[in-house]
Structure 1
Amino acid sequence: MKPLNISQDIISLSDFKNKASKMLHNVQTSHRPLVITQNGKAAAVLISPSDFDLLTEQANFVDAVNRGLSDVEHGRILPDEDLDNIL
């Protein structure tokens, strides 16, 4: 996902409604998120499906690393020799 371009990637909900097809196309081709505002405040962020998949994959990886670090910290590990005996 590319960084947000403040001058192009923030749009009001009413403008989004009027230009939805074009905005969806832009998000998919530019890979930049689109911030949709309502009453002058950020209400939603639109990203492409492939960027969503990437973010989900990255979050799952970070979660797995954190679980592994917690296992090491709490002594929930097996020495290599014991693992070889199990397999």
Structure 2
Amino acid sequence: MKNIRASSDIIPLGEFKAGISSCLKKVQATGHPLIITQNGRAAGVLLSPKEYDSLVYHKQFVASVEQGLAAAESGEVYGTEEVRKMLADKRASGKQ
């Protein structure tokens, strides 16, 4: 994700409401998120679909790696031959 620029990437809710279309265009064009404030505090973040997808993918990837590391640390590991046998058994039984 790109760095947030306080001078142009933070906008009050009222200003956002008045110019939603231009805010959407700006986020799409620059790739910068837009922080929307309410009563001087951050209330929401507007991201481009591409940035959102990237964040979701990254989060899922990290969670998957963490799950694998936890399984390995708990001794839940399999050798190559064990995995091949499990896959062959699964194919033979017709389960996918």
**TM norm structure 1:** 0.94
2:27 match: 27
Aligned length: 87
Matches within 5 A, 1:47-58: 47-58=47-58
Deviation at 1:57, TM superposition (A): 0.3
Structure 2: segments with no counterpart, 5+ residues: 88-96
Q: 1:43-71 deviations in whole A, cap 9, x for unaligned?
A: 10110111100100000000000000000
Q: 1: distance between equivalents of 2:73 and 2:67?
A: 10
Which residue is 1:85 aligned to? 85
Q: After alignment, is 32-41 or 76-85 more displaced?
A: 76-85
What secondary structure is seen at the aligned counterpart in 1 of 2:11?
strand
Structure ID, larger Rg? 2
CA distance in 2, matches of 1:19, 1:57: 30
Q: Tell me the secondary structure at the aligned position of residue 17 of structure 1.
A: helix
Let me know the Cα RMSD of the aligned residues. Answer: 0.9
- Structure 1 unaligned segments of length 5 or more: list them: none
CA distance in 2 between counterparts of 1:25 and 1:86 reads: 51
Q: Which digits, 9 at most, give the CA deviation of each residue in 1:15-65, with x for residues without a partner?
A: 011111101100011010100000111110110111100100000000000
Between 1 and 2, higher relative CO (CA 8 Å, sep ≥ 6) is seen in 1
- Moved segments of 4+, more than 3 Å: none
Amino acid at match of 2:26: N
In the superposition, the TM-score normalised over structure 2's length comes to 0.86
Matched with 2:61 is: 61
